[in-house]
């Protein structure tokens, strides 16, 4: 039997990188999958890559109106419940402290923390008993990487929600856990927001942080997400699963 057979699963930021690979793995495990993304063209490409059978929803993770509208859009497509939610969408902007503007700060926090918070609020009536919610953290919330201040703070806040919402929703049968990647080879590395001339040096610095000596692969994170979404992780609650090549522990 497939591990996610019959489950309805929502993945935000599912049109590329870890989110796209997670959608592929969820489908292979028998789930009905919906993915969100900001770009219509990116979603279309993801739909082709996944071979159809996935619900594509254009949605900006940093726009509260679009987050609040998402449950109704799912219901329009006949989705009356959610068994698994993976909030993976994120803004990975890295800048030195003196380069941040208020607009940049607000955008990152809206996408990485405020948007997910209010999306969970909106999705609550759809979450089944039992169900699994996975919040995408980052090992960056545990360590001090230069230029990561706002990004790391937003992920630390999201990982705090893992614990507080686990306690708040305990009686509802909703398990909330965090999945924190280490440096992973995805298109996100092209969206750090810094000058192109500075990016290679930062990437090399990040790679050297990894005790295993390499970047992670999207499929390694996706398989961890399958575990957290499935009944195999039924005794995990309020936890953070690090899939980071040892960065956070060694």
Structure tokens at 31: 């789930």
Residues 6+ away with beta carbon under 8 Å from 144:
none
Q: How many CB atoms are closer than 10 A to CB 83?
A: 22
Active site residue 151: yes
Contact by Cβ (8 Å): 2, 29:
yes
User: 8, 86, 105, 151: which one is catalytic?
Assistant: 151
**Whole-angstrom distance, CA of residue 21 vs CA of residue 10:** 13
CA distance 77 to 126: 13
Say which DSSP state 242 is in. E
C-alpha pair distances (Å), 21 with each of 15, 33, 108, 117, 221 = 9, 12, 23, 24, 9
Q: Quick one: which of 70, 61, 66 has its CA closest to 88?
A: 61
Parallel/antiparallel/unpaired status of strands 82-87 and 127-136: parallel
Rounded Cα gap, residues 88 and 168, in angstroms: 22
Q: Is 209 helix (H, G, I), strand (E, B) or coil?
A: coil
Question: Would you state the torsion angle of the CA atoms of residues 242, 247, 249, 250, taken in this order, to the nearest 10 degrees?
Answer: 150
Q: Indicate which residues carry an active-site annotation.
A: 151
């Amino acid at each position: 039997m497939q591990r996610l057979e019959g489950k309805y699963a929502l993945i935000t930021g599912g049109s590329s990188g870890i989110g796209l690979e997670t959608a592929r793995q969820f489908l292979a495990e028998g789930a009905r999958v919906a993915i969100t993304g900001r770009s219509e063209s990116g979603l279309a490409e993801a739909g082709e890559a996944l071979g159809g059978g996935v619900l594509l929803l254009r949605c900006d993770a940093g726009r509260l109106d679009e987050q609040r509208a998402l449950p109704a859009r799912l219901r329009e497509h006949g989705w009356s419940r959610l068994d698994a939610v993976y909030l993976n969408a994120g803004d990975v902007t890295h800048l030195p402290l003196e380069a941040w503007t208020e607009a940049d700060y607000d955008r990152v926090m809206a996408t990485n923390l405020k948007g997910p918070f209010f999306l969970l609020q909106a999705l609550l009536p759809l979450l089944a008993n039992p169900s699994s919610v996975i919040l995408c953290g980052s090992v960056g919330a545990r360590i001090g990487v230069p230029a990561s201040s706002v990004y790391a703070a937003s992920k630390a806040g999201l990982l705090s929600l893992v614990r507080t919402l686990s306690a708040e929703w305990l009686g509802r049968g909703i398990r909330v856990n965090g999945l924190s990647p280490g440096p992973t080879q995805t298109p996100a590395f092209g969206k750090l927001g810094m000058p192109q001339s500075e990016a290679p040096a930062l990437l090399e610095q990040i790679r050297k942080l990894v005790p295993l000596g390499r970047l992670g692969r999207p499929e390694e994170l996706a398989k961890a997400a399958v575990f957290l979404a499935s009944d195999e992780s039924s005794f995990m609650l309020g936890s953070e699963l690090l899939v980071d090549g040892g960065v956070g522990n060694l």
